[in-house]
Amino acid sequence: MEPDFDDYLRPLDINAETAHQLARALCCTFKQLAAESSVQFLPTPVSESILRPPKGSEKGSGGTNLRVGFVELLGKEENTSQAKLGLQNGSNGQQPVRLRRQLEKSWPILDHLKNEHPDELFSWIGKCIAEVIADGCQSFALPRDVTQPLGVTFSFPMVQHTLSQAELMSMGKGFAITSKADLGSHLLKGYEASRSSELPPIRIAAIANDAVSTLVSFVYQSQESQSRKAAMGLICGTGSNATIPLRQNMMDPSKLPNKVEVLNGHNPDDQRIAVNTEWSINGTAPALRALGLISKWDEELDAAGEVPGFQPLEYMTAGRYLGELGRLVLLDYLKNCQGYTVDALPAKLQQRFGLTTTFLSHFKPPHPSVLLGKLESEFPVSGTKSDFVWTEDLAIKIYKIAKAIEIRAAGIVAAATIGLLACAGDVQLTEEFREHENTEHRSGANGSSTAAAPTDLVVGYTGGCIAHFQDYLVDCQGFLEGILRQEFGPGPPVRVILSPCHDGGITGAGVLCGAAQAQYELTKGR
């Protein structure tokens, strides 16, 4: 007898209580990884004085390696002219724009560039950089004898001893780059191969992981106050990652950079530094497994990957894998519950990644007949060796699969977010909080007690998966609120708010480049 379909999907279930338990477990996990892991919680030379400089003290320009462009950082005086700059939407209305992106171009990184020798990839990147700098020479009259600073965002784990140097770790995701590649040297070599005598030389001013750049960009453009803090950067697109400032004493001294970049007058030892968590790597698996969140379908997906066991959280939350996870759940149901053999099903459904995340992202009602039409178009049944046909009932079941996958992903990301904020000390878990209950209430002048206003911890997010996969963003925000209610009850002392920070890769590189260039010029002038 065919099982009830909701029971069939039960292994994908998550609720606020489970997400709360996961957040607590991941807080402990993250503290341990910060102290012990050599491949996760990677410190960067970016201090909070760079993340949160005095407003109006930064100006400069920079670019990135996947997209290339000029980023103009606007000073305080310019920033006051909203008529000149325009406005951008923020989580609490509109905020003044604090930077401009100019002459930006983008190129897809084709598979042959990923798979060939790294020199081919960086040669191509250098050619792209040269193309945009040539445009800049014409538009901005850049002198060809003045070295131009370059800010770089690279979307893979790296070890950094200084802000301008980075040693790549094993990349995965189809790239042939091996570990211990010097990123700056490769980029400079690639640019020089394409640079004509009419183009200026470049200098690597700053390098950051994409999650770090997202945080840098988000903090730079946020309007912070005593009750509002830009606390964390979150990426949930093809992959999943996060960056947050942590105290240096939370990490083994051997992991710390040789030189932490700080603004003039600040003591590096007193500064928290931005940490690229690489939270999707295998250190998160024990907490997920202990709460029964890793299903047989997750294990099947993991086993078929390039490096089994490497990225459990990413398999369950990120865009590269959610479509394939949906395909495995559907195949299992059609084979073991409805009796079809694999070769009886549409050919595309038999192929790994044949059900794409993009297709599953937008596979939702208005009406079963519309969903049925989408299935028949995407997975034609002609040529199958059976009488298999798509039905409206199957269409609804596939929607339920997509929704179950999305809700679980949203719950896991919300739990990891709360766990990371707690690891950083921005969220005090109950045991600590109850020792300081007087912070929940303030005595009024007449002796009455009034509830203190909650602190808003704002998480800057980017990525197509969280923005477009079913109701991922809305459900993730709901889980954040549910976890805090589980922890603190009604009226928690903090709110965690998701706020968009798209294009953080290129803008964050520009912000870091401008800050590093200002320090470079100050040092050079001494």
What is the band of 78 on the pLDDT scale with cuts at 50, 70, 90?
Answer: very low
Within a domain: 253 = no
pLDDT of residue 57: 40
Q: What is the CATH number of the domain that holds 123?
A: 3.30.420.40
Higher per-residue confidence, 174 vs 35 = 35
CA 116 to chain CA centroid, Å, is: 26
* Torsional class of 55: left (φ above 0), alpha (ψ -120 to 50), beta (otherwise): beta
Per-residue confidence band for 51, with pLDDT thresholds at 50, 70 and 90: confident
Chain centre distance of CA 198? 38
In a domain, 82, yes or no: yes
| pLDDT tens-digit map of 95-133 | 456 788 888 988 887 777 766 677 888 898 999 999 999
Q: Which of 153-167, 439-453, 491-505 has the lowest mean pLDDT?
A: 439-453
- Spell 234-256 as b/e; 16+ CB within 10 A means b: bbbbbbbbbbbbbebebbeeebb
For residues 51 and 2, give the distance between their C-alpha atoms in angstroms, rounded to a whole number.
56
Give backbone dihedrals phi and psi of 176, rounded to 5 degrees, phi first: -90, 0
Q: In the prediction, which pLDDT does 115 show?
A: 66
- Reduce the secondary structure of 81-118 to three states and give it as a string: CHHHHCEEEECCEEEECCEEEEEEEECCCCHHHHHCCH
Between 283 and 86, name the one with better pLDDT.
283
Q: What residues make up the domain containing 88?
A: 45-223+503-518
Using CA atoms, how far residue 162 sits from 43, 205, 262, 393, 516, in Å, is 11, 10, 11, 57, 11
Q: What is the pLDDT of residues 7-42, one digit of tens each?
A: 999 999 999 999 999 999 999 999 999 999 988 999
Q: Within a domain: residue 61?
A: yes
pLDDT per position as a tens digit, 248-273:
999 988 888 877 765 555 555 667 89
Element (H, E) at 214: helix 210-221
- Which comes out higher in pLDDT, residue 138 or 265? 138
Is the residue at 378 inside a domain?
no
User: Is residue 132 within 8 Å of residue 506, measured between CB atoms?
Assistant: no
pLDDT in tens, 447-488: 433 445 679 999 999 999 999 999 999 999 999 999 999 999
Indicate the range of 381-390, 481-490, 496-505 predicted with least confidence. 381-390
119 in a structural domain: yes
Name the percent of the chain lying above pLDDT 70. 82
| DSSP letter, residue 452 | P
- What band does 418 get if pLDDT is binned at 50, 70 and 90? very high
Task: Give the integer Cα–Cα distance in Å for 191 and 450.
Answer: 61
Q: Is residue 139 part of a domain?
A: yes
Please report which helix (H) or strand (E) contains residue 119, including its range: helix 118-140
CB 206 within 8 A of CB 163: yes
**337 has a pLDDT exceeding 70:** yes
Q: At 161, give phi and psi (nearest 5°).
A: -100, -25
pLDDT tens-digit series, residues 313-327: 999 999 999 999 999
- What pLDDT does 23 receive? 97
| Residue whose entry in the numeric block shows the structure tokens 């998966």 | 465
273 is a domain residue: no
Domain count, the chain: 1
Q: Are 420 and 232 in contact (CB under 8 A)?
A: yes
Is the predicted pLDDT of residue 423 greater than 70, yes or no? yes
Q: Count how many residues are written for the chain.
A: 526
**Across 393-422, average pLDDT:** 97
Query: Is position 206 within any domain?
Result: yes
pTM: 0.83
pLDDT at 346: 94
484 within 8 A of 418, measured Cβ to Cβ: yes
Condensed to tens digits (0 to 9), the pLDDT of residues 175-207 reads 556 556 788 998 999 999 999 999 999 999 889
Lowest pLDDT segment from 67-81, 114-128, 399-413:
67-81
Q: What's the pLDDT at 66?
A: 61
Whole-number mean pLDDT of the chain? Answer: 84
Distance of CA 60 to the CA centre of its chain: 25
pLDDT at 438: 39
Task: For residues 89 and 221, give the distance between their C-alpha atoms in angstroms, rounded to a whole number.
Answer: 11
The bridge status of strand 240-246 relative to strand 273-276 is antiparallel
Specify the pLDDT at position 440. Answer: 40
